[in-house]
Structure 1
Amino acid sequence: MAARLFPLLLLPLGWVRPGACTDLPGGGWLAGTVPEEPRCTVERADASVTYSLFLQRFAFSRPVILGGVTDNSAFRALCTREKLLAAFGPLPVRLSTANTYSYRKVDVPFQEYVDHLLKPQDPARLGSGSGSGVPFHWHGPGFSEVIFGRKRWFLYPPDKHPHFHPNETTLAWLQHTYPTLPPAQRPLECTLRPGEVLYFPDRWWHATLNLDTSVFISTFLG
């Protein structure tokens, strides 16, 4: 489920999970058990990439993972389980499937969402926590930055339509469809870790899978 906290904060799919205390790594959110890809096939770059080089190599043609380009330490301090519950616990969260074909909405208090609804993903249905994610879709170009946890990405260029069912979870697709794909038909893929930023160009197909319960920020351009 995607969750929206009104009126102040957007909570992307599966980005929080209860933890025992906030002095543990990960801000008090617990790690999951979903595996990373055997080999990252998305190009990586660092803060040395100039604006002109970014436009030339990536902006209109291919995704890239950027490391060391932001300092999100202040935001990380605000996104621990303890801080978020203290600030937003009583406020309503709007839950919806992160799927273009389904628009059912359910409102619950953020505290209830964290305490009772976040759990490892059932491959048969959309949900929250480790193993959750967004099925394949496309839109304008954008950036996604991980604050806590790990987020696995699968990407296809606009001219390669991925084979997937619109109501199938990303975890189910990974378990059932992905192993049947010949190497030439597999997507670009990589796991994004805290402090890394993924850029994807316009109309690129992409699906996501939260390996842990993760906190992340997505920004869409255009």
Structure 2
Amino acid sequence: MNKLLFLTFLPSFLLAIVENGGWTTEEKDKVQQKSKCNIERHDAQELTQKEFLKRYAYSEPVIIYNIDNDEFQKLTEKAEMLSTWRDADVTLNSANTYSYTRVPTTFGNYIEEKMKPQNLEMLGNETLYLFGDIDQKVWKPLLDKYKQPEWKLPGHTAALSFGIAGAGTGVPFHFHGPGFAEVIHGSKRWFLYPYEQRPNWNPDKTTLEWYTYDYPKLSRDELPLECEMKSGEVIYFPDKWWHATLNIESSVFISTFLSP
């Protein structure tokens, strides 16, 4: 039986598990959002290196879809990851702009005990988040299976940062060098502003709180570029663009940070 036919006969609750690699989220915990997307989207099969450099590399973000990372997606299914990486050491970061809190634990303990949907009343500096702080040597067998974006920024080298987080979590506004970020499982909403248009936010509060209370009050001129990204999509953001993220549901993601 082919995969498409197999999925057709699954009950809806089992279908959700299969489609999101086992990283399930109860409907009540998913972030309710508008369907608005004002970031340009481009098919990966049609975006050439020349067009990437001319239109996006130095000027504006773009979401690229039809990304093929099937092998990495399979290796990052929940059951597979717990089977392989349960006892691996990881370091959790606080989910605020500066991410100065570091909490060591194991991967299994984070997934089974600490990874929860975001509490709207909890501050970002009290929320623990797995993103980036993993031993590159220990996790090399997994990271080596990730197919990095094929588009290049001349004179820059790439560094990978892998993460998993619950619904409603995310990182508030911050900026750094250019990079790509791909959703492997789940879905994530991005908010971006060019460097000269500094957003107004509290660096220790969560993106969910900002989205719930501050975002609806923004004037038309204050609204960000934004879009929901799903599995198989990658966003590119140029140097020094302000950005914040919001996981709509439990999500697995990986970023490719570029530095000169």
Q: TM-score, normalised by structure 2?
A: 0.74
- Answering whether residue 172 of structure 2 is matched by residue 174 of structure 1, we say no
What is the CA-CA distance between 1:22 and the residue it aligns to? 9.9
**Counterpart contact for 2:90–2:105, Cα < 8 Å:** yes
CA distance in 2, matches of 1:103, 1:23: 34
Change over 3 Å in CA distance of 1:22–1:175 after alignment to 2:
closer
Q: Which has the higher contact order (CA 8 A, sep 6+)?
A: 1
Partner of 1:103: 100
Judging by fraction of residues, say which structure has more helix. Answer: 2
What is the CA-CA distance between 1:171 and the residue it aligns to? 0.2
In structure 2, runs of 5+ residues without a counterpart are 1-12, 128-164
Secondary structure, in 3 states, of the residue corresponding to 2:19? Answer: coil
CA distance in 2, matches of 1:21, 1:179: 34
What is the CA-CA distance between 1:67 and the residue it aligns to? 1.1
**Counterpart contact for 2:184–2:252, Cα < 8 Å:** yes
CA distance in 2, matches of 1:170, 1:140: 20
Partner of 2:68: 71
Cα displacement string for residues 36-84 of structure 1 (whole angstroms, at most 9, x for unaligned residues): 333101001112122111111111110000112x311100110011111
The residue identity in structure 2 corresponding to 1:132 is: T
Secondary structure, in 3 states, of the residue corresponding to 2:208? Answer: helix
**Counterpart contact for 2:97–2:204, Cα < 8 Å:** no
The percent of aligned pairs where both chains have the same amino acid is: 46
CA distance in 1, matches of 2:97, 2:22: 31
- Give the counterpart of 2:220 among 157, 165, 183: 183
What is the CA-CA distance between 1:101 and the residue it aligns to? 3.3
Question: What RMSD over aligned residues (CA atoms) do the two structures have, in Å?
Answer: 1.9
**Counterpart contact for 2:95–2:169, Cα < 8 Å:** no
Cα displacement string for residues 67-121 of structure 1 (whole angstroms, at most 9, x for unaligned residues): 12x3111001100111111111012221111434342211112111111111110
CA distance in 2, matches of 1:92, 1:51: 38
The residue identity in structure 2 corresponding to 1:167 is: D
Change over 3 Å in CA distance of 1:102–1:142 after alignment to 2:
closer
- Give the counterpart of 1:62 among 60, 63, 80: 60
Answer with 25-34 or 133-142: which moved more: 25-34
Partner of 2:258: 221
CA distance in 1, matches of 2:99, 2:249: 25
Q: 1:90-129 to 2 correspondence within 5 Å?
A: 90-123=87-120, 124-126=122-124, 127=127, 128-129=165-166
- Give the counterpart of 2:36 among 32, 36, 39: 39
Secondary structure, in 3 states, of the residue corresponding to 1:95? Answer: strand
Change over 3 Å in CA distance of 1:188–1:119 after alignment to 2:
same
CA distance in 1, matches of 2:107, 2:68: 27
**Counterpart contact for 2:171–2:246, Cα < 8 Å:** yes
CA distance in 1, matches of 2:248, 2:16: 20
Partner of 1:27: 21
Q: 1:120-199 to 2 correspondence within 5 Å?
A: 120-123=117-120, 124-126=122-124, 127=127, 128-199=165-236
Partner of 2:140: none
CA distance in 2, matches of 1:33, 1:23: 15
CA distance in 1, matches of 2:119, 2:53: 40
Secondary structure, in 3 states, of the residue corresponding to 2:90? Answer: strand
**Counterpart contact for 2:186–2:252, Cα < 8 Å:** yes
Change over 3 Å in CA distance of 1:59–1:92 after alignment to 2:
same
Q: TM-score, normalised by structure 1?
A: 0.86
Secondary structure, in 3 states, of the residue corresponding to 2:55? Answer: helix
